[in-house]
């Protein structure tokens, strides 16, 4: 019987859309979701059904999960991919923005997993795939809020991996490096600093940081999706999987003295042109 997969954050051009296509290509029944379904126009595989889902709403998450289980009888794999960028100086962020970004990037993982867990636990099988980031391990300037949400994602994944063991449910923490997507373009187009920001002189550095994940060494999204899906569908999904441009460098950073790494990253993103 084909695996049933729920993927959040599937807007065109993003990692989620490519994950959906690859899961479907491997024979899975896939439910692709996004807050605005019209933004999933690139998803065309016949094994994919598109649904509206606001991951920041308990009621909406429960509605979608209940719909899928009622129709399919199960959900085998959940991919918590929904996320939003949060570039800029950490203390320039409004508290409303802090709440919104944590709600989308982090709290939504708990919300979706909580809704699906009872069904998986009854069947004693399932996989939660949570998408983090290399900057959740090693932060860089001008991206502190996003880094904080991804650091929390990593911790949530590791704790869930232990607490889901009684139910034979695997948890896979995906840690992307640079992967091609439209997130940088979207952030650059809309990015501004507050008029009273103390960091106005650093605007070129902030723009450089926003675009850092879309350089020449960024991994094609299709390639990244194939790697993730192959692990998620394996008999023993790994607890941690990292891939993408600069992912090995960031893995190396984890073993170096913290002050040395942070000093190096600050120099890169604080130079005057």
As given in the structure block, the two tokens for residue 120 are: 């998986």
Q: In angstroms, rounded to a whole number, what is the distance separating the alpha carbons of residues 78 and 185? A: 27
pLDDT at 263 over 90: yes
What is the 8-class DSSP label of residue 128?
E
Q: If you search the block for the tokens 């606001």, which residue do you land on?
A: 54
pLDDT in tens, 117-135: 999 999 999 999 999 999 9
Four-CA torsion 213, 84, 161, 241, nearest 10 degrees: -20
pLDDT in tens, 244-256: 999 999 999 999 9
Q: Is residue 142 a contact partner of residue 205, using CB atoms and an 8 Å limit?
A: yes
Q: Which fold has domain 4-268?
A: Rossmann fold (3.40.50)
Instruction: Compute how many other C-beta atoms are within 10 angstroms of the C-beta atom of residue 167.
Output: 15
Task: Please compute the mean of the pLDDT values over residues 167-179 and round it to a whole number.
Answer: 97
Task: Domain ranges for the chain, please list them.
Answer: 4-268
As given in the structure block, the two tokens for residue 259 are: 């002050």
Q: In angstroms, rounded to a whole number, what is the distance separating the alpha carbons of residues 265 and 250? A: 11
Q: In angstroms, rounded to a whole number, what is the distance separating the alpha carbons of residues 6 and 127? A: 11
So what's the pLDDT on residue 24?
A: 98
pLDDT at 182 over 80: no
Please give the model's pTM, rounded to 2 decimal places: 0.94
Give 243's strand partners: 176
Strand order, beta sheet including 48-52: 48-52, 29-34, 4-7, 77-80, 126-131, 169-176, 240-243
So what's the pLDDT on residue 185?
A: 61
pLDDT at 183 over 80: no
Residue scoring higher pLDDT (83 or 189)? 83
Task: Please compute the mean of the pLDDT values over residues 193-208 and round it to a whole number.
Answer: 94
Going by pLDDT thresholds of 50, 70 and 90, the confidence category of residue 188 is: low
Q: In angstroms, rounded to a whole number, what is the distance separating the alpha carbons of residues 58 and 78? A: 16
Q: In angstroms, rounded to a whole number, what is the distance separating the alpha carbons of residues 93 and 197? A: 10
pLDDT in tens, 73-89: 999 999 999 999 999 99
Which residues are known to be catalytic?
146, 150
- Give the chain's mean pLDDT: 95
Q: Report the Cα–Cα distance between both ends of the chain, in Å, rounded.
A: 58
As given in the structure block, the two tokens for residue 73 are: 């009888």
Instruction: Compute how many other C-beta atoms are within 10 angstroms of the C-beta atom of residue 263.
Output: 10
Q: Is residue 67 a contact partner of residue 8, using CB atoms and an 8 Å limit?
A: no
Percent of the chain at pLDDT exceeding 90: 91
Going by pLDDT thresholds of 50, 70 and 90, the confidence category of residue 1 is: confident
Q: Is residue 214 a contact partner of residue 102, using CB atoms and an 8 Å limit?
A: no
């Amino acid at each position: 019987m084909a695996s049933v997969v729920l993927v959040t954050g599937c807007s065109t051009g993003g990692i989620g859309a490519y994950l959906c296509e690859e899961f479907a290509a491997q024979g899975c029944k896939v439910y692709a979701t996004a807050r605005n379904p019209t933004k999933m126009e690139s998803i065309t595989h016949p094994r994919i059904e598109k649904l509206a889902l606001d991951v920041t709403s308990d009621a909406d998450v429960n509605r979608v999960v209940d719909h899928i289980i009622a129709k399919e009888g199960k959900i085998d794999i959940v991919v918590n991919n929904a996320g939003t960028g949060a570039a800029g100086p950490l203390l320039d962020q409004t508290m409303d923005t802090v709440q919104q970004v944590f709600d989308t990037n982090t709290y939504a993982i708990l919300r979706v997993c909580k809704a699906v867990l009872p069904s998986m636990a009854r069947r004693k099988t399932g996989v939660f795939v949570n998408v983090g980031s290399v900057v959740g391990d090693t932060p860089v300037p001008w991206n502190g809020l996003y880094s904080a949400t991804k650091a929390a994602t990593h911790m949530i994944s590791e704790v869930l991996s232990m607490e889901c063991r009684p139910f034979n449910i695997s948890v896979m923490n995906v840690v992307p490096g640079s992967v091609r997507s439209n997130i940088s373009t979207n952030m650059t187009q809309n990015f501004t600093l507050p008029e009273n920001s103390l960091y106005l002189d650093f605007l070129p550095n902030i723009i450089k940081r926003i675009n850092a994940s879309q350089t020449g060494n960024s991994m094609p999204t299709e390639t990244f999706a194939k790697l993730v899906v192959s692990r998620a569908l394996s008999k023993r999904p790994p607890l941690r999987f990292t891939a993408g441009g600069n992912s090995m460098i960031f893995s190396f950073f984890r073993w170096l003295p913290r002050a040395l790494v942070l000093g190096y990253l600050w120099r890169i993103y604080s130079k005057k042109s």
